[in-house]
Amino acid sequence: PQLRALVSAAILLGALVAAAARRGDGVAMNSAAAVLAGCVPCLALVAFSRLRSKHEAASDSAGAATPRAATRVSRRNSVGGNRLFPALPARQAQKHDFERLSVLVGCPGPDPARSLEKKLEEARAAYAQGNAPAGGALDEGGALHEPMDDFAACRFLLAAKFDVGRAVQNMREYVEWRRANRGSIEPPPAWLNSAAVLAPFEDRHGRPVVVLRMRHIHPGEVPIDVFETGFCATLDAVMGHLMARRAAGLAAEGNPLDQYSCWIDTEGATRKNFALPVVKMMQRMATTRYAERVGKMYVLSPNFAVRAVWSIVRPMLLERTQRNIQMVSASEAPAVLGELLG
């Protein structure tokens, strides 16, 4: 209705300008032209808003086709029967999968592929005891459809350093945690308003890129539970994007474990933007809840303060996590990130 009204007003004013010009009435012509000039930006704004609404609706109906769309769906359907996590069948690892996954996760032993296969068999059997059939999907009243399959078990095994007992325990606790939260996590307004995190695109391996802007994180002003909830909500949006791609048959071959890439932008950040409790929380959640979801982390433009914080934090991280974190100076960033994006 607003668009039609503005179009009608613009047509009427245009006719008045033309009539005034024919009569030679300069005052009337100038007045009508001024009002017409004011209508044009409004007309453009309304038209843009309508197009944007149609675009967002199309993106949402496509099942969160982009990380940004996944974030919108997460905010809108984060509790109850959401469509962020579509129903997916469990994936049974095959012979060629063990060969590829054993290299990807660095499984120990003289025959890594066979070793990983045995570990997954043990995990599958242990998880099936007292649980739904091994490999079944989480489905609590339509709130979550996430397969606890071989590929999920592979991530939990990697996070537990291939300790089957601990990996299975973490899987069970993860399932109970999801049930308690009724699916995906709703992002707190304070987290959204901080604009600390963006998920704009994927890298060449098919991993969504999560950009963490440290200068917008203020641990002294925001409670730790807000950071934890916001962190979980962000990763749920990433998971929703990856699962929607898999449901549409568009899963990336180069990302079998459904991981993401994290770019930590430290430009303008100081020691006030870092806090050990936040680091410990992220490490805990990355090990027990979002096991091995992050494929690679890049710390961009690290200054002296950032490197000093890194020297403190590094011993707290798993050895494999330390290897997955790469410091990238401002001069190296174009080449490193350019290669990553392909």
148 and 205 share one domain: no
DSSP structure class, residue 260: E
* Residues of the chain above pLDDT 70, percent: 68
Given a cut of 50, whether residue 140 has pLDDT beyond it is: no
Strand blocks (E) in 186-245: 197-202, 208-213
Mean pLDDT of the chain: 74
Chain-centroid distance, C-alpha 113? 30
150-182 in b/e form (b: 16+ CB < 10 A) is bbbbbbbbbbbebebebbbbbbeebbeebeebb
242 and 198 share one domain: yes
Q: Count the Cβ atoms, other than its own, within 10 Å of residue 116.
A: 28
208 and 291 share one domain: yes
Whether residue 47 lies inside any domain: the answer is no
Whether residue 14 lies inside any domain: the answer is no
Structural domain harbouring 251:
189-341
Whether residue 229 lies inside any domain: the answer is yes
- Among 84, 26, 52, smallest CA distance to 247 is for 84
173 and 204 share one domain: no
269 and 332 share one domain: yes
pLDDT of residue 69: 39
Contact at 8 Å (CB) between 254 and 205? yes
pLDDT of residue 265: 93
197 and 330 share one domain: yes
169 and 242 share one domain: no
What is the CATH classification number for the domain harbouring 214? 3.40.525.10
Q: How many helices (H) and strands (E) does the chain have?
A: 13, 7
Digit-coded pLDDT (tens) for 167-210: 999 988 988 888 888 778 889 999 999 889 999 999 999 999 99
Number of domains comprising the chain? 2
pLDDT of residue 290: 92
If you average pLDDT over each of 37-46, 99-108, 139-148, 184-193, which comes out highest?
A: 184-193
* Residues of the chain above pLDDT 90, percent: 21
Range 226-237 average pLDDT? 93
CB under 8 Å to 194, separation ≥6 — which residues? 216, 217, 218, 222, 230
Digit-coded pLDDT (tens) for 66-95: 444 333 333 333 223 343 455 566 677 776
Digit-coded pLDDT (tens) for 141-154: 434 467 788 888 88
163 and 224 share one domain: no
Q: Which has the minimum average pLDDT: 106-120, 291-305, 309-323?
A: 309-323
256 and 330 share one domain: yes
Range 236-241 average pLDDT? 90
What is the CATH classification number for the domain harbouring 157? 1.10.8
Contact at 8 Å (CB) between 82 and 236? no
Identify the domain boundary among 181, 202, 225.
181
* The residue type at 109: G
254 and 214 share one domain: yes
pLDDT of residue 255: 92
221 and 102 share one domain: no
- Among 293, 257, 288, smallest CA distance to 116 is for 257
Name beta bridge partners: 262.
Answer: 210, 297
Whether residue 329 lies inside any domain: the answer is yes
262 band by pLDDT with thresholds 50, 70 and 90: very high
223 and 289 share one domain: yes
